[in-house]
Amino acid sequence: MSSRSRSVLRRAFLVTGLGVLAIPFVVPTVWMVAASVKPLPEIFKSPPSLWTSDPTLSAYREAFSFQPFARQYANSVYIAVLVTVITLLVSSLAGYAFARIRFPGANALFLVVLVGLLVPSEVTIVPLFQMFKRAGMINTHWPLILVTALAGPCVLATFIMRQFFIALPAELEEAGRLDGLGRPALWWRIFLPLAKPALSAVAILTFLTSWNLYLEPTVYLTSPELFTLPQALTRFTDSYGADMWNTQLAAATMTVLPVLIVFVVAQRQFVEGLAHSGLK
């Protein structure tokens, strides 16, 4: 066998192997979308199939009538957007100051902030629940917004922003100073525009964290019209406690698909942003 045909064969093996490995990564999502348009009895048909001859959108209609799903969707969107915007501001300000401004106690205060990276939210939720209860904020969106936007992913964001700003040349400040810019203007007009890659990484990381939050809404919220999407997804059970399979899948599809589409379009930013979450 010539070396050329051997490398072709090798490549075929590689692609086939990867294709098989990819099945559990791809099929659940594809199956979720496919099953959401199937009539209920077809979902558990054996052998499983992705195809239906009789597609229907009734599960989608049901998702909106069974729960205030549109409202829950809006809750998730507005909370995630708000949290992302606040995090971008707070983390870029703090990251800039820790990286570029010399002030007494900066190192000690940075260590204090880093403690926020050490403590998982699953540990603080018990006392936080009591604190928010005392503040009268149980069954409101405040805990979800405040804690996510100022602690949690925001601390990681501050860390990412600091690492980014610290690598920029010192001449930037000198040039800005000559133009008479103060610190706020330096941050806003010179450093933020340069930080677009880091900011988009932070935005993706924060948005997804907020969008996927499950423990917090489960603990803080009790009224269905205040629920966020992940929490709402688990509540599609009929009055006998049985899962409403296809309605649940339709709601899950509506939760997942928009994010997945944005991911495919902007995948490089996503991969970079989320790889940061594993870096700490």
Partner 1 sequence: MAALMKTPATTPDASRVPTGARSASAPPFWTSRRRDVLAGYLFIAPQLAGVVLFVLIPVGLAIWYSLSDWNVFTGEQTFVGTDNYAALADDPQLPSVLWATAVFCVGVVILNIGLGLLLAVLLNRRFRGATFFRTLFFSPVVVSVVAWTLVWGFLLQDNGGVNGLLGTVGITGPNWLQHGDTAMVSVIITQVIRSVGVNMVLFLAALQGVPSNLYEAARIDGAGSRVMFTRITLPLISPTVLLTSIITIVGALQSFAQIAVLTSGGPELSTTVLVYYVFQQAFEFNHIGYGSTLALMLLSFVMLLTLLQWQLRRKWVFHEQ
Of 66, 69, 96, 191, the one binding partner 1 by CB under 8 A: 96
Of 72, 91, 206, 210, the one binding partner 1 by CB under 8 A: 91
Distances 46 to 18, 38, 119 between C-alpha atoms, Å: 26, 14, 46
Q: Count CA atoms within 13 Å of residue 2 on its CB side.
A: 3
The token duo for 81 is: 């957007």
Site for partner 1 in 44-63 (CB under 8 A): 44, 46-48
Site for partner 1 in 213-242 (CB under 8 A): 214-215, 218-219, 229-231, 233-234
- Min separation Cβ 105 and partner 1, Å: 9
- Min separation Cβ 66 and partner 1, Å: 15
Q: Contact between 74 and partner 1 (CB under 8 A)?
A: no
Between CA 28 and CA 40 the distance in angstroms is 17
Between CA 260 and CA 253 the distance in angstroms is 10
For the chain, the C-alpha Rg in angstroms (whole number) is 24
String marking each residue 97-136 x if it binds partner 1 according to CB under 8 A: xx--xxxx-x--x--xx-xxxxxxxxxxxxxxxxx-----
Size of the site for partner 1 (CB under 8 A): 98
- Min separation Cβ 154 and partner 1, Å: 6
Please calculate the CA angle 230-231-236 and round it to the nearest 5 degrees: 100
String marking each residue 7-46 x if it binds partner 1 according to CB under 8 A: ----x--xx-xx--xx-xxxxxx-xx--x-------xx-x
* Contacts with 252 (C-beta within 8 Å, 6 or more apart), sequence order: 32, 36, 233
Of 94, 198, 201, 226, the one binding partner 1 by CB under 8 A: 94
Cβ distance to partner 1 smaller for residue 64 or 129: 129
- Would you give the end-to-end CA distance of the chain in angstroms? 49
Q: Contact between 82 and partner 1 (CB under 8 A)?
A: no
Between CA 121 and CA 151 the distance in angstroms is 9
